Amino acid sequence: MPRREGGQPRPLGMQRIPRMKHVLVVHGPNLNLLGEREPQVYGLLTLKQINDELKAMARQHRLRLRTLQSNHEGVLIDVLHAQRRWAQGVLINPGALTHYSYALRDAIAALGLPAVEVHLSDISKREEFRRISVIAPVCIDQVSGLGLKSYLLGLQRLLEFQPPASSKKA
């Protein structure tokens, strides 16, 4: 029977799931302009401020983050591939790639890692073309419309994620 910390037996079905330690944060096209671009939609926070808040939360949870922003789909895919063995989860705001990038969707799916899609604005209440996400089906969750809180709740969702019993390693 597996043992709990302190040597006490752990009941069957209560296997300890390792704490997530490494999260890759990916920001898509135009997010480098946050704070300037359409503040009535995206708010006044800059990307640096968002990353700083995520890093502060990560420190509280003894979590290491790597962050990247790119305006180029291929760069985002290359980073996902390159970081697949380091990362244990992915927090991603794909920007406009949300709505049409099957290549980015497939890259996320290929990782086999839990991913959470986040958006500052509520994409379900935006223009018709923005209401569709081709990324969401390969993510464990989507958080949108809460500004900075979308990112923080997305990171919290990754920290709380427990894979289904069928995907746990014995």
Active site residues: 42, 119
Query: How far is residue 164 from each of residues 2, 17, 170, measured CA to CA in Å?
Result: 19, 11, 13
State how far the Cα of 91 lies from the Cα of 135, in Å rounded to an integer.
Answer: 12
Strand partners of residue 148: none
Give one DSSP letter per residue of 22-52, joined into a string.
EEEEEE-TTGGGTTTS-HHHH-S--HHHHHH
Task: For residue 33, give every residue at least 6 positions away whose Cβ sits within 8 Å of its Cβ, in sequence order, or none.
Answer: none
State how far the Cα of 67 lies from the Cα of 27, in Å rounded to an integer.
Answer: 8
